[in-house]
Amino acid sequence: MPPLVDPVVSGVLFETDGQTPDLGLDKDVSVLKKAAPKKYEYVWFNIFWFLFLHITSLYGLYLVFTSAKWQTNVFAFAVHLMCAIGIGAGSHRLWTHRSYKARTPLRILLMIWQTMGFQDCIFEWARDHRTHHKYADTDADPHNAERGLFFSHMGWLCCKKSPEVIEGGKRIDVSDLYADPVVMFQKKHYMKMMPILCFVLPTIIPVYFWGETWLNAFCVPTILRYTCGINVVWSINSFAHTFGYRPYDKSLNPRDNIGTWMICVEGFHNYHHTFPWDYRATEYPLYNLLTPTIVFIDFMAKIGQAYDLKSVTPDIIKQRAHRTGDGTHYLWGWDDPEFTEKLKSQYGRVTNAEDKKFE
Ligand SMILES: [Zn+2]
Ligand SMILES: [Zn+2]
């Protein structure tokens, strides 16, 4: 039977998807963005679960400053960091985007940390995130930002997936995930491993090792830490798709935003959606040095656990920023002091001519 819906590709996923010399799609994706009227089927279990998490986390935040031991607070931050790296370096940059390769010990470590973060198993996370990139800001995007800030933040998890999202997910090639034994092991045992790693161990460890109370151990390193972790990732889907600049491709919703970066330590989302196979967060070395996920991948490369790290050449970045950027690119953008009026009119003509091709 033919599919009821036919999702339209609105983004690149791998460098092989590039249809122009500067690795973009050869069409105007800004006209593809849409959010057709739809009837939401609520998932009440998730709604009550998120309510419980956020209310308990507020109490957990109070406990951080009033009764939790300092070891508990440090432990909560350490677990948060491990989960962030498990998701950022693992299910995101390694398994979704294949932006580098990892040897088995590193893949096992990332799988354990990713399980601790409880945001679906790697297989589902990577398939959904590939769907997000390939059908970005259309009805086949699981957290379509065209439906508003709340929907792209957490609303999408409060209702059932639409037929477009399910169809988009089916069209994603996941053969590499099926071929990875670490991913398949986690998929098979996820519901046994996840509760122990995400909820049981982070509660027991502070009580057993430094005599923390059960209440503090449950509310701070377990519930508050977990709620912070999911909100960080959700903020990239919501705030980083709504606020900021688009130095690389102004036709995309994802934006570069220092504010989002300061909260999520991942905020260069226009760069990421323009070149998703680049293992770096941004082309700027300073921000990569301040991004734990990237520092971790670089360190793993130094000790031989990560290899074949992919990045985009400065020349391609320059070409792309010229052709499709919004003019805010720091070096070649309109506000650069060296970008004289003569150059502006010269490159402005080129940019306009390129834009005409998309109209
Ligand atoms: Zn995105
Ligand atoms: Zn991505």
- Ligand 2 centroid, distance to 54 Cα (angstroms): 26
pTM: 0.91
Q: What is the pLDDT of residue 6?
A: 83
- Using the mean position of ligand 1's atoms as its centre, give its distance from the Cα of residue 239 in Å: 10
At 270, the amino acid letter reads: N
Ligand nearest to the CA of 270: 1
User: Looking at the predicted structure, is the pLDDT value of residue 10 above 90?
Assistant: yes
Question: What's the confidence (pLDDT) of residue 262?
Answer: 83
How far, in Å, from the CA of 132 to the mean position of ligand 2?
Answer: 8
CA–centroid distance, 58 to ligand 1, in Å, is 27
Asked if pLDDT for residue 231 goes beyond 90, the answer is yes
Look at residue 131 in the predicted model and tell me its pLDDT.
98
Least confident of 97-111, 245-259, 323-337: 323-337
Q: 252 CA distance to ligand 1 centroid (A)?
A: 10
Rounded Cα–Cα distance for residues 266 and 328 (Å): 19
Average pLDDT of the chain is: 92
Buried b (16+ CB within 10 A) or exposed e, 88-108: bbbbbbbbbbbbbebeeebbe
Residue 245: helix, strand or coil by DSSP? strand
Q: How far is the CA of 299 from the centre of ligand 2 (A)?
A: 21
Ligand nearest to the CA of 129: 2
For the chain, the structural domain boundaries read: 15-356
Convert the pLDDT of each residue in 56-91 to its tens digit: 999 999 999 999 999 999 999 999 999 999 999 999
Residue type (1 letter), 24? G
Task: Using pLDDT thresholds of 50, 70 and 90, give the confidence band for residue 336.
Answer: low
The 3-state secondary structure of 149-185, one letter per residue: HHHHHCHHHCECCCHHHHHHHHCCCCHHHHCCHHHHH
| pLDDT at residue 333, rounded to an integer | 59
Ligand 1 geometric centre to CA of 294 (Å):
18
Each residue's pLDDT tens digit, 169-200: 999 999 999 999 999 999 999 999 999 999 99
From ligand 2's centre to the CA of 306, what distance in Å?
19
Q: How far is the CA of 183 from the centre of ligand 2 (A)?
A: 18
pLDDT band (50, 70, 90) for residue 354 = very low
